[in-house]
Copies of this chain bind each other. A is one copy, B any other.
Amino acid sequence: MPRVIEVSTDGALVASAFERLYEALRRLAPRDGLSLTAASTLRRLQLRGPHRLSALHVAEGVTQPAMTQLVTRLERDGLATRGPDPADGRAVVVTITEAGRTLVEQRRDRYAAALAGVLHGLAPAEHAVILAALPALERLAETIAE
């Protein structure tokens, strides 16, 4: 049974806690008709600017047809636009619209408000230890994202 005990124990501990946290965060997420991929793609477009469609499909970990269809829906809903790439006639450049930015900000605001409410229900010490762990958690996320 023993095999790299320390690391695998930590992994199991963290996995168990993160499984529950993930489920909880899923329930906290705003229900405004954006799929997880749609929300993530919009955030990416807002934070890091226009992307080629192929860059988006790789970054979001979905197939290229899935991203083509997602961009079509985003465009139809006025959240993003397709444009040509002056440097490559085959490529499509996807850009977030003002409405898209507004939606991303609204989602973040609502999410933040919901989280603030929940944090409020914790003991000050619990609150503090979570705040203290945030930089490490962001590093963890960064590491996973490669």
Contacts and interface: CB of A to CB of B under 8 A. Distances in A.
A126 interface: yes
Copy count, this protein chain:
2
Nearest to A146: B27
Identify whether the interface residues of A are mostly helix, strand, loop, or mixed: helix
Given A10-B119, A122-B139, A140-B122, A27 B145 contact: yes
Interface in A55-96: 61
Interface string A119-146: 1111001110111111111111111110
A15 interface: yes
Contacts of A131: 10, 13-14
Given A11-B115, A116-B11, A118-B140, A134 B36 contact: no
